[in-house]
Amino acid sequence: MKQGPAILVVDDDASLGAALKEFLTREGYDVEVAQSGAEALAIHAANRKIALALVDLIMPAMDGLAITAGLRARDPDIAVVIMTGYGTIETAIEAIKKGAEDYITKPFDYEALRKKIARLMEVMELRERVAQLEGNLERHSCFENIISVSPGMERVLERARLTAATDASVLIVGETGTGKEMLARAIHQASPRARMPFVAVNSGALPRDLVESELFGFRRGAFTGAYADTPGLFSAASRGTLFLDEIGEMPKDVQVKLLRVLQEGEVRPVGSTTAVHVDVRVISATNRSLQDLRTNFLREDFYFRVATVVLQVPPLRDRREDILVLSQHFAARLSRKYGRQVSLARNAIELLLGYPFPGNVRELESLVESSAAISADNPQVITDKDLKPLLNSYTPEALPSAMSASVSLEQMERLTIEQALRLAEGNRTRAASLLGISRDTLYRKMRQYQR
């Protein structure tokens, strides 16, 4: 068999289906045969390699037009070729208007059929190569929205980049405000699932008595108020990524059912006796420590299933280089937002470098924006006096010893510039973008520090 796309033959004539399968198999294709529309849709759902369907136009229960619509609703990229007799060519042309690639007439000219399928496969392989190249370009830039120059965070991002190419379940561990959902989105966008949905849900925000129906869906009549079949979040994330934030809040009885979903790739909607196939990657996150999570909140078997890869995002207080970079980045973004120049004074940056940031990156962003929002100055220079009223609980005595050490702003700035240039592989335009400053400003500072 060819290592590549598979073909689905849909015809209620068993002998014709068998003949087509024999012919296409000799041509080297992997072939599946269905004798009804329902069977065709089920086979397609179970076999992700199917890229081409040969569909008979006249079929009982569900005709070729309906089958074409059903297949393309699930996979807009699937190629459908309608099989028809001479008397229904006009209907076949109508099918092309509704999404079919082409049609062939019965009885078949097998040589013409061979060439037609080879041509379609060649076009699909070309599309796939183009999409792959585009995806590589997209994946290369997916993590650029995560602004960081600290070695610790760079190690996390490198592991995330490697993990993105796989289907492994990921557990992201970090304090509130460290950007766990942003990292999850970057992993999704850098993965082969990037064109499919990313569905985020806060596990702690789901009503306990509705968790199952929210995740797995429900059937009409399953409970009071269930007036119609409703798909759950797993179905909504079909072929994409489901992000389960605060996974430690998930009830343990639901963890058992989630474990089965992750192991078997099937969900059973509430009120149904039939399991439904799902193809979803799960990324989870928690602000609890790993030890606390394993000991008190997650079943051990469930933990090992969701934590195939663990990414621990360091708090902002442990990567002070990023405080400098992020504060400049947020100021540059606010300049664009408000249409006026916003920057931070030296004393403001020194104050931020010494602050422990219990709210992490989210708190830093809020501090800078709050300072900018209450001023109309153009240019505006945010000073320590603007920031101090916003740091309500901050006292120097509360700082950990590692944070209270005197740090030269010049030394910090120089090290940050060197790190940005290293991450940008010497590209000064990219380094300036990382730092949230203009290229001219970068050149000036490089001359200042004789880099």
Best-predicted range by mean pLDDT (239-248, 249-258, 330-339, 393-402): 239-248
How much is the average pLDDT of 365-380? Answer: 88
Average pLDDT, integer, range 360-364: 94
pLDDT in tens, 321-356: 888 888 888 888 898 888 888 888 888 888 888 899
**CATH 1.10.8.60, the chain: domain bounds:** 321-397
* Domain range 146-314, its CATH number among 3.40.640.10, 3.30.420.40, 3.90.1150.10, 3.40.50.300: 3.40.50.300
Specify the CATH architecture of the domain 408-451. Orthogonal Bundle (1.10)
Top pLDDT among 256 and 411 is at 256
Mean pLDDT value across the chain: 83
Q: Indicate the range of 47-51, 133-137, 176-180 predicted with least confidence.
A: 133-137
Positions of CATH 3.40.50.2300 in the chain? 6-133
pLDDT of residue 343: 87
The pLDDT of residue 401: 36
CA 70/CA 34 separation, integer angstroms? 14
Q: Is the pLDDT of residue 130 over 70?
A: no
Is pLDDT of 137 > 50?
no
CATH, domain 321-397, list 1.10.10.10, 3.40.50.1370, 3.40.50.800, 1.10.8.60: 1.10.8.60
Q: What is the CATH number of domain 6-133?
A: 3.40.50.2300
- Would you state the pLDDT for residue 406? 43
Task: Give yes or no for residue 297 having a pLDDT over 90.
Answer: yes
Looking at the chain, the domain(s) classified CATH 3.40.50.300 span 146-314
